[in-house]
Structure 1
Amino acid sequence: MVRRVVTGVGSSGKPVIVSDGEPPVTRRYTHTPGFGRSLVWTTTAPAAPSDDPTASLTSYVPAPGETIALTVTFPPAGVYADPGWDPAAAGAEQLEATPGLAELFEPDNPGMHTTPTVDYGVVLSGEIVLDLDGGETAVLKPGDLVVQNGTRHAWRNNGTEPATLFFVLIGAGSTA
């Protein structure tokens, strides 16, 4: 999925690379082929250099002042139209893999959700549609940036190739 390089301070007191490779909390979803997520890093308030905190994350919604950095790969919409796709199994997998965040998705409006965060997003590859409550949309391509200010939204991949985005979620405490 993605390569993550993490620096730290070695026993000599000098900067070192402490890990280089796929983030340890990476998931390629079974029930939604092509969907994937890598937890890149997380901080607590106040932020300080530390051992890798990703394995101990209990919620994908950061508290006020905390952050979460992750990549998400969205499969093309055709995956969801495939007769073999099982929405119940996919939903259960999301609940298990992204606690705190998965519960915010609206069952009656697939993909739509609101988070108490300010999110910075960068499209790394593919094309994705930001679908806002109220009908406005924005088509985003590689290199495009988005600041998602706690509004009700969904991500739609209407293309034929996966779309990968990098997000930094910043806990804001309440939604707009």
Structure 2
Amino acid sequence: MFAKPVPGRTTADGEGDVVVLLIGMRVNRFWAVHQWVPVMLSMIRMLRELERDPGRGLLEHVLLTASPRTYYVVQYWESKEKLYAYASSPEMFHHRVWGIVNGKERAGKVRGHVGLWHEAYVVPEGSYESIYFDMPAFGLAKAHGQVPVERRGRYARDRFAYRSEAGAGEKRAG
């Protein structure tokens, strides 16, 4: 099913800090299909696990390809605490997968067929902005909601300067 574009200019309706996780894999040896396909399937399985339990904190994700070798997921989370909780929870699939990876590494059985990476960011309010033109909700807007651009400011500098009531209160109190 295709989402309909929202006419005109819109922006994300995020308030407060935004948590972004980039996580992916690089196929170092294409012929080692038996090594990289399970990694790719594990990534998909973890996303499905998170989709089934929205309380875990994943708000949105986008699967991307950087090259024929490199695949990654941009994830938007409710908080870094929920991201940490998922990553370290013994009952979640991620914990089991990393146990296997770490065990292979300790045993010297990692052969470099697949590269794994992640980068995590907590972006403070006032340090992000977005604009979408004739787009359905996407990325940050899909994670936090989509509003007409006028609600946050016509120009990027205005959207960067936007503060939610909670964010403005923190600035005054600090």
TM-score range, shorter chain: under 0.3
TM-score (normalizing by structure 1): 0.23
Higher helix share: 2
TM-score (normalizing by structure 2): 0.23
Higher strand share: 1
Between structure 1 and structure 2, the one with the greater Rg is 2
